[in-house]
Amino acid sequence: MADLKNDLYLRAALSKPVERTPAWMMRQAGRYLPEYRRLRSKAGDFMDLCKNPQLACEVTMQPLERFPLDAAILFSDILTIPDAMDLGLSFKQGAGPHFLKPVRSKSDINNLPIPDPADKLAYVMESVTMIRKSLNNSIPLIGFSGSPWTLATYMVEGSSSKDYRYIKALMYTDPKSLHMLLQKLADSIIAYLNAQVSSGAQALMIFDTWGGVLTPGSFREFSLNYLEKIIDSLTREVDGSKIPITIFTKNAGQWLKMMATTGADCLGVDWTTDLSDARAQVGDKVALQGNMDPAVLYGTDTRIREEVATVLESFGLGSGHVFNLGHGIQQYVNPDKVAVMLEAVREMSPAYHQ
Ligand code: CP3
């Protein structure tokens, strides 16, 4: 922390005092940037881009060259672990991820390897090392992974899903096998995230994008349980600097109180929950990250500034807020609108930290 020029994000995620609210965006390196689209078309397949550390580093840096962001996030995908399990992952243009060999039976699950991060995922570690060099201690680098439940949904469904019929059928017919799958994923994720930290990641985020499709009981049993196990086994400090851990479950506004007891330092919140309600649920146990509706960026500059003000006001006074969107930035957003949002956060947020 000591040699970082800007450590606001690390401090805020650990609920320590800051002079202004730090800001970054989920999917900040992505298709809304013309320079990303150019590089992406040169690289070919999306996974080819992820697997080329030089290009992944270049893409990570793209939004930072345009905007005064307070954190960088590794350019990669949550599906690198299932890809390393040899399930035949591809990204079809416009249709999202697709697995040639979805995981459907007990024997499929038994046969899954736990990938060694130094082997098939070595490209991710090389990217982390290169990005840290490029950042040159300007802002912190966030490493990440999907949660066991969210990775399992893609692996069992075989692609993005609207109804989660295969994984929910597995959950209600053979929960033991699902637990075996989730445990294998948890073990893989622990090794993967700790390797990212060894390679230079200064903070970690776990995306539990699809935890919110569960019932409260099954969320606890099939998602939260494993998040807790993972957090218990992660490296929490390197050279005297704490590694903040953020967990993000979409549509989990009602479950923040139970999420706050996992050992995470910070919870991501989507735009359907008011940050003042979120804060009332979690008290000062954890920091909060979020939560402007990504669609606000289609609005006028004035509306964007108003919504930034609303988000800052809803969190209120004091530390423990990382400004972000409530989910990833959408591909049709005009990048100029991001500058308007970030400028508004810089201008308005110091008043909340006096
Ligand atoms: O935030 C960042 O800037 C870091 C990069 C990042 C990507 N994906 C890049 C990406 C991160 C953190 C992710 C996480 C991810 N990937 C999640 C969890 C976060 C969330 O959005 O809830 C999920 C569910 C995935 C799986 C995934 N990858 C999907 C559903 C898609 C979209 C497919 C489509 O065509 O719309 C991807 C592809 C993907 N991941 C892109 C990017 C920039 C677009 C790929 C392209 O260039 O065509």
Nearest CA to ligand 1 atom 39: 77
Q: Which atom of ligand 1 is nearest to the CA of 40?
A: 47
Distances (CA, A) of 149 to 237, 280, 298: 26, 27, 32
Say what the pLDDT of residue 354 is: 87
* Active-site annotation holds for 31: yes
Torsion-angle region of residue 276: left (phi > 0), alpha (psi -120 to 50) or beta?
Answer: alpha
* Active-site annotation holds for 77: yes
Structural element, H or E, at residue 144: strand 141-146
**Sign of the C-alpha dihedral, residues 176, 114, 230, 123?**
negative
Q: How far apart are CA 235 and CA 204, in angstroms?
A: 10
CB distance 88 to ligand 1 below 6 Å? no
Say what the pLDDT of residue 95 is: 80
Q: What is the pLDDT of residues 75-127, one digit of tens each?
A: 999 999 999 999 999 998 778 999 999 999 999 999 999 999 999 999 999 99
Nearest CA to ligand 1 atom 33: 96
**Ligand 1 centroid to residue 46 C-alpha, Å:** 10
Q: Which atom of ligand 1 is nearest to the CA of 250?
A: 22
- The single-letter DSSP state of residue 245 is E
Q: Which residues contact 201 (CB under 8 A, 6 or more apart)?
A: 74, 128, 141, 142, 143, 193, 243
Average pLDDT rounded to a whole number, residues 272-276: 98
DSSP string, 93-105: TTTEEEESS---S
Which residue type sits at 39?
L
Name the 3-class secondary structure at 19.
coil
- In the predicted structure, residue 2 carries a pLDDT above the cut 60: no
**What's the pTM value of the predicted model, to 2 decimals?**
0.97
Say what the pLDDT of residue 44 is: 85
CB distance 208 to ligand 1 below 6 Å? no
- Percent of residues, the chain, with pLDDT higher than 90: 97
Structural element, H or E, at residue 267: strand 266-268
- For 76, the token pair is 């990669």
Q: How far apart are CA 137 and CA 168, in angstroms?
A: 44
**Ligand 1 centroid to residue 352 C-alpha, Å:** 32
Q: What is the pLDDT of residues 151-208, one digit of tens each?
A: 999 999 999 999 999 999 999 999 999 999 999 999 999 999 999 999 999 999 999 9
Say what the pLDDT of residue 169 is: 97
Strands 89-92 and 96-99: antiparallel
- Band of the pLDDT at 146, cuts 50, 70, 90? very high
* Active-site annotation holds for 40: yes
Q: Which of 20, 40, 279, 305 is catalytic?
A: 40
- In the predicted structure, residue 302 carries a pLDDT above the cut 90: yes
**Sign of the C-alpha dihedral, residues 306, 307, 313, 314?**
positive
CB distance 47 to ligand 1 below 6 Å? no
Q: How far apart are CA 278 and CA 276, in angstroms?
A: 5
Q: What is the mean pLDDT of the chain?
A: 97
Nearest CA to ligand 1 atom 8: 77
Residue 266 pairs in a beta bridge with 246, 287
Average pLDDT rounded to a whole number, residues 305-321: 98
CB distance 30 to ligand 1 below 6 Å? yes
Q: Which of 7, 9, 11, 77 is catalytic?
A: 77
- Give the distance, in angstroms, between the CA of residue 265 and the centroid of all CA atoms in the same chain: 14
Nearest CA to ligand 1 atom 2: 27
Q: Which residues contact 349 (CB under 8 A, 6 or more apart)?
A: 20, 21, 312, 323
**Ligand 1 centroid to residue 27 C-alpha, Å:** 7
Q: Which residues contact 172 (CB under 8 A, 6 or more apart)?
A: none
CB distance 157 to ligand 1 below 6 Å? no
CB distance 26 to ligand 1 below 6 Å? yes
Nearest CA to ligand 1 atom 5: 75
Nearest CA to ligand 1 atom 32: 96
